[in-house]
Amino acid sequence: MIVPKQSVRNMRPYSPPTQGRGGKIRLDFNENTVGCSPRVLAAVTQALTEENVAMYPEYSEARTEIAKFLGVADDQLTFTNGTDEAIQLLINTFFEPGDELVTLSPSYAMYRFYAEVAGVRVTEVAYQIEDDLVFPLQSLTKMITSTTRGVFIANPNNPTGRAISVDDVVTILEHSPRTIFLLDEAYVEFSQISVLPLLDRYPNLFISRTFSKAFGMAGLRCGCLVSSAENIAWARRAQSPYSVNALAVAAACAAVGDIEFVANYVHEVVNARQMVQDALTRYGLRWFLSDGNFLLFDAGSRKQQILDQMKSAGILIRDRSHEIDGCVRVTIGTIDQMKLFITEMEKAI
């Protein structure tokens, strides 16, 4: 029998639901619930030639396009196979085994996941329910010491929902110029708070972006990692030269060419989020302010009832009670989709 290395043996398995979601109302993974822009489909159709399929992907034109969209230089960006590869790449490039990574809890599971795979020590700073799950700025800065190699922050945070301000990020960055900071901006299109303008001032800042959420391209696996040209050159040294699908980069270019599609969707999500908040308030359920396309609420003793009702109605939501007692996370989709959600909530309560 072949046994894995110690750190993998010790890992908790990460097993999100990965099957049978098609055709349902998917309010469980914070995807774009109406799909991608029609221009994305058109771009993939156009890119779908025998040569593009048979040939190893070429990224440089697409990189120019996306870098321009983000307002950075070409060499400040590398495409990644979703945000997941960005996280793994950062850890593989810059963290020795035993180094310390500080993250928040709860947050995106893959920070801990890839740290554990690499034998990196994880220190977690907990969001406090008694503080309404606001960003624990003070506890976090206290936790960052001279031996902290990196700090990974989702902004807005998932599943709690709130974004932190650019000023708060500056406070953290100023705290430790030798520590690597990843700001994972997977939901930035909803929060409109980005630290991209800080890149020039802080050589220790990395930002990851993804096309899996607002852009509606989770199936295509495309994201990117952005930092100084020097940092990105090191990361690319540790990266496979062909980690992103050729059709995915064609799709990404089309996606940033249809900002109106995303803006309209974000606008509807913000309105729908307000509607869901109001409904939850009516039911007397506590919910937590969100800057993303999802809402965490405390279903308390009615949690199982709600989950069962949603399941029977073909609406997928996500139980997060293993992280925050009694809590459930619902992705915010369109007004019509959230009306269905509210209807089922009413039946459950």
**Between 225 and 348, CB nearer to a second copy:** 225
Q: Between vectors from CA 101 to CA 99 and to CA 107, what angle results, nearest 5°?
A: 155
Nearest CB to a second copy, comparing residues 238 and 335: 238
Other Cβ atoms less than 10 A from the Cβ of 166: the count is 16
Return the residue of 76, 78, 88, 155 that touches a second copy, per CB under 8 A.
Answer: 88
For a second copy, which is the closer residue by CB, 161 or 223?
223
The pair phi, psi for residue 147, each rounded to 5°, is -100, 0
Q: Does 85 bind a second copy (CB under 8 A)?
A: yes
Buried b (16+ CB within 10 A) or exposed e, 84-118: bbbbbbbbbbbbeeebbbbbbbbbbebbbbbbbbb
Among residues 174, 230, 260, 336, which is the contact residue for a second copy, using CB under 8 A?
230
> Shortest approach of a second copy to residue 110 CB, angstroms?
7
Q: Do you find a cis peptide bond into 203, omega within 30 degrees of 0?
A: no
Which phi and psi angles does 114 have, rounded to 5°? -70, -30
According to the binding rule CB under 8 A, does residue 22 interact with a second copy? Answer: yes
User: Could you tell me the smallest distance in angstroms from the CB atom of residue 21 to a second copy?
Assistant: 6
Helix (H) or strand (E) holding 150: strand 148-154
Please list the alpha-helical segments (H only) found in 21-151: 38-47, 50-54, 60-70, 82-94, 109-117, 137-143
Name which of residues 232 to 271 contact a second copy (CB under 8 A): 234-235, 237-238, 240-248, 251
Cis link prior to 197 (omega < 30° from 0)?
Answer: no
Instruction: Candidates 70, 79, 82, 133: give the one binding a second copy (CB under 8 A).
Output: 82
Is the Cβ of residue 81 or residue 155 nearer to a second copy in the bound state? Answer: 81
Interface positions, 281-310, toward a second copy (CB under 8 A):
none
**314 part of the interface to a second copy, by CB under 8 A:** no
Q: Does 110 bind a second copy (CB under 8 A)?
A: yes
**13 versus 284: smaller Cβ distance to a second copy:** 13
Residue 229 interacting with a second copy (CB under 8 A): no
- For the beta carbon of residue 199, count every other beta carbon within 10 angstroms: 20
DSSP three-state, residue 148:
strand
Site for a second copy in 185-224 (CB under 8 A): 203-204, 212, 216-221
> Site for a second copy (CB under 8 A): which residue of 76, 78, 81, 158?
81
**Site for a second copy, residues 148 to 187, rule: CB under 8 A:** 178, 180
